[in-house]
């Protein structure tokens, strides 16, 4: 049976690199990239590209029929910081897109769904260290509320209708090819660009704010590994905890300084500090490691080296 994948939100931070990797694995014409806006030239020319509003179930179905799509990766979402400013819009996008895709699977138009959850499902009452797979989920952000509700919907559609939906609770994802937008963990991406360009960075979180993070290469691999895992090994249908590293702004700045000795960081915390303070600092992802052999490759040191080298090469 041929696998044909539709990526919704393919122009975004994770969507861009995930689509690139999926095209390598499944063939360019078997991975349909889509977004509400156009993406980079590479994404739009290396395989099929469709403009789709991820909340428009009929539009998604038209594309599913057009290409005989078998799997949907739903990456379209509004992240934590933007969602605090536009709660209703965030709820509509994050929930309606998920419900549309879950319904399409329930109606047997597709066989498998990937939907990302986040560490934002946790809140101030959750244990902060080594946060367990199953624990208190009382988020204090609009984004977190949408993610925790989404997790319950995934579980519900799996239990009631047998929908094969799989999900990961992403930590902050760090990349250099496409920048994220509107997240609380985004400082850990911006800092590399500013370090190379200006040799200084003003951080919107305080120096000792520890957050769980992951390099994009690991996040893309985890996502594809989860989707390729045997159904019998998938024991969690709401969202798997996933971890690689945890660090503070002060620690990432110190790592960058090893490569750019005159780099300076200053701190000017804003409303995002409260969001960061409500999230866990370290995550226990032993269930993912046990169920489908998840293993991360990058730590702060190897990621920093890789990002700075890649950005320097790109500039040449
Ligand atoms: C955000 O900061 O909103 C996201 C996330 C942790 O889900 N990167």
pLDDT in tens, 71-84: 999 999 999 999 99
pLDDT band at 316 (very low <50, low <70, confident <90, very high): confident
| Res 315: pLDDT | 78
| Res 299: pLDDT | 98
User: Is any atom of ligand 1 closer than 6 Å to the C-beta of 172?
Assistant: yes
Average pLDDT over residues 41-49: 94
User: Is any atom of ligand 1 closer than 6 Å to the C-beta of 76?
Assistant: no
pLDDT in tens, 117-142: 999 999 999 999 999 999 999 999 99
Taking the centre of ligand 1 as the mean of its atom positions, its distance from the CA of residue 79, in whole angstroms, is 6
Kindly list the catalytic residues: 143
Say yes or no to pLDDT of 39 above 90: no
Taking the centre of ligand 1 as the mean of its atom positions, its distance from the CA of residue 230, in whole angstroms, is 28
User: How far is residue 244's CA from residue 283's CA, in Å, rounded to a whole number?
Assistant: 9
Q: For residue 102, with 0-12 CB atoms within 10 Å meaning exposed, 13-18 middle and 19 or more buried, which class applies?
A: buried
Query: Smallest Cα–Cα separation from 164: which of 95, 252, 101?
Result: 101
Taking the centre of ligand 1 as the mean of its atom positions, its distance from the CA of residue 118, in whole angstroms, is 7
Residues 172 and 281 sit within 8 Å (Cβ to Cβ): no
Average pLDDT over residues 27-55: 95
Average pLDDT over residues 51-62: 98
Task: Give the residue, out of 75, 77, 80, with the most ligand 1 atoms within 8 A of its beta carbon, to mutate for a pocket test.
Answer: 80
Say yes or no to pLDDT of 1 above 80: no
Contacts 24+ apart (CB under 8 A), 49-57: 49/10, 52/8, 54/8, 54/9, 54/93, 54/97, 54/100, 55/92, 55/93, 55/96, 55/97, 55/100, 56/100, 57/100, 57/103, 57/104
Task: Give the residue, out of 117, 148, 184, with the most ligand 1 atoms within 8 A of its beta carbon, to mutate for a pocket test.
Answer: 184
Query: Could you tell me the domains of the chain?
Result: 5-172+214-241 (3.40.50.720), 174-213+244-283+297-315 (3.90.25.10)
User: Is any atom of ligand 1 closer than 6 Å to the C-beta of 13?
Assistant: no
User: Is any atom of ligand 1 closer than 6 Å to the C-beta of 185?
Assistant: yes
User: Is any atom of ligand 1 closer than 6 Å to the C-beta of 144?
Assistant: no
């Amino acid at each position: 049976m041929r696998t044909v994948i539709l990526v919704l939100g393919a122009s975004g931070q994770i969507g861009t690199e995930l689509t690139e990797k999926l095209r390598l694995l499944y063939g360019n014409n078997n991975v349909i990239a889509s977004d509400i806006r156009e993406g980079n030239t590479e994404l739009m020319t290396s395989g099929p590209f469709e403009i789709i509003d991820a909340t428009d179930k009929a539009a998604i179905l038209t594309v599913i029929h057009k290409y005989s799509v078998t799997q949907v990766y739903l990456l379209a979402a509004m992240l934590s910081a933007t969602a605090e400013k536009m709660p209703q819009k965030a709820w509509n996008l994050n929930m309606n897109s998920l419900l549309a895709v879950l319904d399409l699977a329930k109606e047997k138009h597709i066989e498998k769904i990937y939907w990302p959850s986040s560490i934002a499902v946790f809140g101030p009452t959750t244990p902060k260290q080594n946060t367990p797979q199953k624990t208190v989920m009382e988020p204090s952000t609009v984004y977190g509320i949408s993610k925790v509700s989404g997790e319950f919907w995934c579980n519900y559609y799996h239990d009631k209708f047998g929908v094969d939906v799989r999900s990961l609770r992403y930590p902050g994802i760090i990349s250099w090819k496409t920048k994220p937008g509107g997240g609380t963990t985004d400082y850990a991406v911006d800092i590399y660009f500013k370090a190379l360009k200006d040799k200084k960075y003003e951080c919107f979180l305080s120096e000792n704010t520890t957050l769980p993070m992951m390099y994009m290469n690991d996040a893309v691999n985890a996502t594809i590994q989860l989707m390729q895992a045997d159904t019998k090994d998938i024991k969690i249908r709401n969202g798997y905890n996933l971890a690689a590293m945890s660090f503070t702004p002060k620690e990432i700045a110190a790592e960058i300084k090893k490569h750019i000795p005159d780099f300076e960081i200053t701190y000017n915390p804003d409303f995002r500090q409260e969001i960061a303070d409500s999230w866990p600092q370290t995550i226990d992802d032993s269930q993912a490691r046990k169920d489908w052999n998840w293993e991360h490759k990058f730590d702060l040191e190897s990621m920093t080296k890789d990002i700075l080298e890649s950005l320097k090469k790109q500039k040449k």
